[in-house]
Amino acid sequence: MNLIKVKKIIEYLNDIEELVECKGAEVSTVEGFSSIYDSIPNTISWMRSQNIDWDNVHATLIFCDRNCVPPEKEMQKRRFVKVNDPRYTFFNTLTKFSKSGKKKNIHMSAVIHESAEIGNNCYIGPNVVIGKNVGILKGTEIHANVVIEDNVKIGEDCIIYPGAVLGITGFGHQKGKTNRLERVEHIGGVTLGNSVEIGSNTCVARGNISDTMIGNNSKINSLCHIAHNVKIGNNVGISVGVMIAGSVIIEDNVWVAPGSVIKNSVNIKKGAFIGLGSVVIKDVDEITTVAGVPARILEKQM
CATH number at 218 reads 2.160.10.10
202, 221 Cβ separation under 8 angstroms: yes
- Of 206, 225, 247, the one marking the end of a domain is 247
The C-alpha atoms of residue 258 and residue 221 are separated, in whole angstroms, by: 9
Domain around 53: 4-97
The C-alpha atoms of residue 284 and residue 272 are separated, in whole angstroms, by: 7
Residue 183 has a pLDDT of 74
Closest CA to 110 of 79, 143, 77, 84: 143
In a domain, residue 297? The reply is no
- Of 97, 125, 156, the one marking the end of a domain is 97
Q: What is the DSSP letter of 50?
A: S
List, run by run, the mean pLDDT of 10-residue segments along the chain (302 residues): 85 89 90 89 88 87 90 89 92 82 82 95 96 95 96 96 93 75 78 97 92 97 96 98 96 98 97 97 96 88 57
Query: In 10 A of CB 154, how many CB atoms?
Result: 27
For this structure, is 228 an active site residue? yes
Is residue 77 domain-shared with residue 156, that is, in the same domain? no
In a domain, residue 280? The reply is no
What pTM, to 2 d.p., does this model score? 0.82
In a domain, residue 26? The reply is yes
In a domain, residue 207? The reply is yes
- Of 64, 97, 130, the one marking the end of a domain is 97
Neighbour order of strands in the sheet with 219-220: 123-124, 141-142, 159-160, 197-198, 219-220, 237-238, 255-256, 273-274, 288-291, 296-300
Residue 19 has a pLDDT of 86
Number of domains the chain contains:
2
For the chain, the maximum distance between any two Cα atoms, rounded to a whole number of angstroms, is: 83
In a domain, residue 262? The reply is no
CATH number at 84 reads 3.40.1390.10
Residue 302 has a pLDDT of 54
Is residue 146 domain-shared with residue 89, that is, in the same domain? no
Query: In 10 A of CB 63, how many CB atoms?
Result: 27
Is residue 149 domain-shared with residue 123, that is, in the same domain? yes
